[in-house]
Amino acid sequence: MRNWVILLLTNLFIFLFPLSGFSKNQNEPVICFSEETAKRMVVELEQCRITNKQIEALVKENQELMKQIQYLKAVIELQKKQLQISKETIENLQKIIKYQNEAYKRVYKKTFFDKIKENGLFLSLGFLIGIAITL
């Protein structure tokens, strides 16, 4: 009879409290899943981990792209300043060329009239000598 009582208590304990021996904390509720649900949960957890890694990689890539955008904006600003300086340099060079052109024209006119005077003097002298010879 004693074996029969022990067997009965053991069976009652197993059937009435099937998972209480597996739980660390007796106050926590025990949740059961089917094998299909557990498989799906594992797959979704792995997908979540992969997605989180991808998100971290994309965040880092985004930060790098933001830095590149800042550098490119700085480069654009420097190029704008360089373009403005180049425009001012071109304007100054055009003024210098205009001034030099006017100076060369004055020098050319002066030398041209000097040549005419010299040639006129030689031509006059030549006429005078020619008239003197013919007389």
Say if residue 108's pLDDT is above 90. no
Q: What is the pLDDT of residues 30-71, one digit of tens each?
A: 667 777 887 788 888 888 889 999 999 999 999 999 999 999
Which residues span the domain enclosing 118?
2-134
Total of domains in the chain = 1
Least confident of 4-13, 30-39, 88-97, 113-122: 4-13
Q: Give the span between the Cα atoms of 62 and 51, in whole angstroms.
A: 16
